[in-house]
Amino acid sequence: MTKKVLVTEKLAQAGLDRLAEKGLQVDVKLKMSTDELIEAIPGYDALVVRSATHVTREVIAAASKLRIIGRAGVGVDNVDVEAATEAGIIVCNAPTSNIVSAAEQTMCLMLACARNTAQANASMHAGEWSRGKFCGSELYEKTLAIFGLGRIGGLVAERARAFGMHLVGYDPYCSPERAEQLGVALYDNMEELLPLADFITVHLPKTDETIGMFGPEQYAAMKDGVILVNVARGGIYNIDSLADFLAAGKIGAAGIDVFEDEPCTQSPLHEFPNAILTPHLGAYTYEAQRRAGVQIADYIAAGLEGSVVPTALNMAPVPPEVMDAVGPYVPACQMMGSMLAQLGGEVPKRLSLTASGKAAPADATILVAGTLQGLLSYKNLATVVTPVNAEAVARRHGIRVDTGAHASAGAYSSSVTVVADGREIGCTLSGEDQHVRLISLLGYKVDIAPGPQALIFQYEDRPGRVGTIGSILGDAGINITTMQIVNDPEAGQAIVYMNIEGELDDSVLAKLRESLEDLKNLWYVKL
């Protein structure tokens, strides 16, 4: 069944096209009220929003099919991430889509404030030539204080360094090594930093700690004539007191791109010509809009496929160097889960997963979720399993899950092995296309690519068995495409894995069972 994606805000056409290319049905419904969203959301598997749509706990409670919420941008303060996590819904964003645009807008506002660009432009359009009124300041050798040295703050540091600025910064989560790499003198507290800065820019998320982070006490501690910039989140600067300090001349100018309530057409800053105000343009470039649309489309598709979503906010992050090694194993684990369900017959009481080699460093929750999805989907238990709710799903179905990791995968660069109530399957990935190959099955070492249909035989090793199997299948019009036989001389047993093509019914299986003496097991597996 085709999965459905609801897009509630304007998304770049390239993003919509990418979703369609992934075989998803895309419905664009703009400017929905919360009540309208609650009414519509039960029919959708994925939701794509920007900043205006509020995905509340009530919306999530109504989202019976929803597996993933994608924010085509950076901040997700409009999404109840806690409620989504409780529901097993992945929440992801596109954090790198607009970082260049936001950094450039920061530099734009710094320059506009320093050089009185907006005021001079307005004067020119009024028919004036008032050059003497608009003498500005250089950025060269001025001190810039950067609050928040993440992706955007780091790019601002690089650009400001090119202007010859002295850089200081405050970020409790920034390592001294990163600050040194950026050329930023890192300070442990704001109080020491504020009197040093000629310019201050903030690149912080909207949290209880950052809202109102700058108020009268902080403004009073700043250097006279300081220029403030905000292209992050509205509310980090207290706007009312900022207006007071602008009026008093303590703050020389402010460049503000974001506001607590948007759209913002009136504020205490609107009366000041030295307050350069822009309507949330930080991410609003053609390039950033396209990147955000395409990135979030790829992440939505990955989440719906049960694969790795690298920017998921409510699960353990996967480092880029690990993601390439682990990502393709998610569908492989789904396949192994489905096969184990068909080999075992019952939902297992215990499931053990071991990642080896290059796959070992990953959070195994991603792989466990894929395995559970394959296992429970085959059992028609109608359970949506994501890395967010994998532990809860396992617990609900009475499955004890253990995970492990080995630095070496033996002869392979990586592998994953799953054991369900003693039945074991292992696989690796091969070739440029990362095709799945089975490397172990029920304790036997094998090496074969699984097809859509397979027969697995376990019997006493005697001559003529394969001939009997081939004759029965041939008479039924069943073609054997690939096959592998593995012997266990000590036990006198053999296992045969046989990929087949054609319609195989119960009568053929019954004939195989009747014709093969000492047949221990015969499984017909569909993947």
CB atoms within 10 A of CB 26: 20
Give residue 267's Cα distance to chain centre. Answer: 36
Residue 176's contacts (CB-CB under 8 Å, 6 or more residues apart) are 186
Give the pLDDT confidence score for residue 379 in this predicted structure. 67
63-94 pLDDT per residue, tens:
999 999 999 988 888 999 989 988 889 999 99
Does residue 141 have an active-site annotation?
A: no
CB atoms within 10 A of CB 411: 10
Torsion angle defined by CA atoms of residues 251, 253, 257 and 258, in that order, rounded to the nearest 10 degrees = 20
177-203 pLDDT per residue, tens:
999 999 999 999 999 999 999 999 999
For residue 7, what are the CA distances in angstroms to 48, 259, 400?
5, 24, 38
412-436 pLDDT per residue, tens:
999 999 999 999 999 999 888 889 9
Torsion angle defined by CA atoms of residues 256, 259, 263 and 267, in that order, rounded to the nearest 10 degrees = -80
DSSP state of 225: T
pTM above threshold 0.85: no
Rounded Cα gap, residues 243 and 219, in angstroms: 11
148-188 pLDDT per residue, tens:
999 999 999 999 999 999 999 999 999 999 999 999 999 99
Of 38-42, 54-58, 313-317, which range is least confident? 313-317
For residue 439, what are the CA distances in angstroms to 255, 448, 490?
61, 7, 20
Confidence of residue 133 (pLDDT cuts 50, 70, 90): very high
Choose, from 262, 271, 287, 514, the residue flagged as catalytic: 262
273-301 pLDDT per residue, tens:
999 999 999 999 999 999 999 999 999 99
Rounded Cα gap, residues 408 and 363, in angstroms: 17
Q: How many CA atoms lie within 13 A of 478 on its CB side?
A: 22
Please report, in angstroms and rounded to a whole number, the separation of the first and last CA atoms in the chain. 17
Give the pLDDT confidence score for residue 384 in this predicted structure. 66
For residue 128, what are the CA distances in angstroms to 111, 119, 121, 132, 160?
22, 11, 10, 11, 32
Length of the chain as a residue count:
527
Give the strand pairing for 251-256 and 226-230.
Answer: parallel
Rounded Cα gap, residues 494 and 363, in angstroms: 36
Give the pLDDT confidence score for residue 51 in this predicted structure. 87
371-398 pLDDT per residue, tens:
988 888 776 665 667 777 777 888 888 9
Tokens 């607590």: give the residue: 260
Give the pLDDT confidence score for residue 309 in this predicted structure. 84
DSSP state of 196: G
Percent of the chain past pLDDT 90, that is, above it, reads 76
Choose, from 50, 67, 203, 233, the residue flagged as catalytic: 233
Cβ 418 vs Cβ 424: under 8 Å: yes
Rounded Cα gap, residues 482 and 449, in angstroms: 9
Average pLDDT over residues 222-228: 98
The residue among 190, 180, 194 whose CA lies nearest residue 210 is 190
What's 95-159 look like in SS3? CCCCHHHHHHHHHHHHHHHHHCHHHHHHHHHCCCCCHHHCCCCCCCCCEEEEECCCHHHHHHHHH
Confidence of residue 308 (pLDDT cuts 50, 70, 90): confident
Structure token digits, residue 447: 């090496």
On the question of pLDDT at 134 being above 60, the answer is yes
Does residue 125 have an active-site annotation?
A: no
Give the pLDDT confidence score for residue 323 in this predicted structure. 67
Choose, from 115, 280, 290, 406, the residue flagged as catalytic: 280
Rounded Cα gap, residues 351 and 486, in angstroms: 25
Q: Which amino acid, one-letter code, is at 219?
A: Y
Tokens 């993440």: give the residue: 150
Rounded Cα gap, residues 85 and 92, in angstroms: 11
Does residue 158 have an active-site annotation?
A: no
